[in-house]
Amino acid sequence: MNQTTLKESLMITGGVGLHSGQPTRVVFYPAEAGEGVVFHRLDQDVKIPATYQYAKSSPLCTTLQKDGVILQTVEHLLSVCSGMGIDNLLVELESEEVPILDGSGYEFFKRFSEVGLRELAAPKQGILVKKPVLYQKGDIEILATPSANPVFSFAIDFAHQQLGQQEYHFQFTEAKYAEEIVRAKTFCLERDVETLQAKGLIKGGSEENAIILGEDGQFKNMEVLTWLNEPNLHKILDQIGDFYLARNLRILGNVHSHKSGHSSHLEFIRLLMEDRQDAWELVEL
């Protein structure tokens, strides 16, 4: 299998940043083999490769930072790149946030699918898990083990009647990613909304682009849901995006996660890529 990029450039307008609420335009350009996914902040003239070395954790989103310039909320776009198998892409923006759009990866997926992908003359690579790698912090756990097929099993545990404890096993294929994961919207607890707004965050959040888990234990905006377990599916969407910070390579193994989020995903990737190089090998796909 060879690396890919977009066939043609394309632009998405009309989106806003989740935190800033500011209109954000984003332009995607095809890139050469080996370049990976690179963000270009045009207003600062800084290019930031989408890899863990430039990532910093924040509780609500994944942020890249280089030379004092930041770029927030990269995870849904990176998830779509991983899910569709886009290895190389140049992403130009004029502000510090990737637009939230409908809160899922669907708009990126739809537009990328419309222009299509182009194969490049270089082999596609992946990270094949050879030995177990365990990350633990409190009750958060991520365990990667060898597996013939990539699987993401994700367990959540929320003190909310509609969510509670649940687990989803996602057998990763590009077709299943398109069916089961890419349209899963982000979510937020109703009680957190005011706190976040008071901090000047989530100005671009709305009842159209986030599932709101009401104080009464119900979904506050049921009409935006596609599936009842959509928050669980969104956690997998986020994780696939965060994991693509491993040099824009897919992790090929069985990944079992319990209550993990952006911070722990990044810490797991650092552990895997830096301290546990014994546990995996680069393979051509």
Kindly list the residues in this chain that would bind Zn ion in the complex (CB under 5 A): 186, 238
CB 123 within 8 A of CB 1: yes
Can you tell me the distance from the alpha carbon of 122 to that of 276, in angstroms, rounded to the nearest whole number? 27
Q: Which is nearer to Zn ion, 87 or 242 (CB)?
A: 242
Q: Which is nearer to Zn ion, 180 or 238 (CB)?
A: 238
Q: Is residue 256 marked as binding? A: no
Q: How far is the CB of 279 from Zn ion (least distance, A)?
A: 27
Q: Would you call 160 a catalytic residue per the annotation?
A: no
Of 19, 40, 160, 262, which one is the catalytic site residue?
262
Report the nearest approach of Zn ion to the CB of residue 76 (Å).
Answer: 6
Q: How far is the CB of 216 from Zn ion (least distance, A)?
A: 24
Whether residue 234 is annotated as binding a ligand: the answer is yes
Q: How far apart are CA 27 and CA 20, in angstroms?
A: 19
Give 230 or 238: the residue with its C-beta nearer to Zn ion: 238
- Based on CB atoms, which residue is closest to Zn ion, 87 or 238? 238
Neighbouring CB atoms inside 10 A of 215's CB total 11
- Smallest gap from residue 184 Cβ to Zn ion (A): 9
Distance between CA atoms of residues 152 and 168, nearest Å: 8
Instruction: Check whether 76 is labelled as a binding-site residue.
Output: yes
Q: Which residues define the annotated binding site for Zn(2+)?
A: 76, 234, 238
Q: Which residues define the annotated binding site?
A: 76, 234, 238
Active site residues: 262
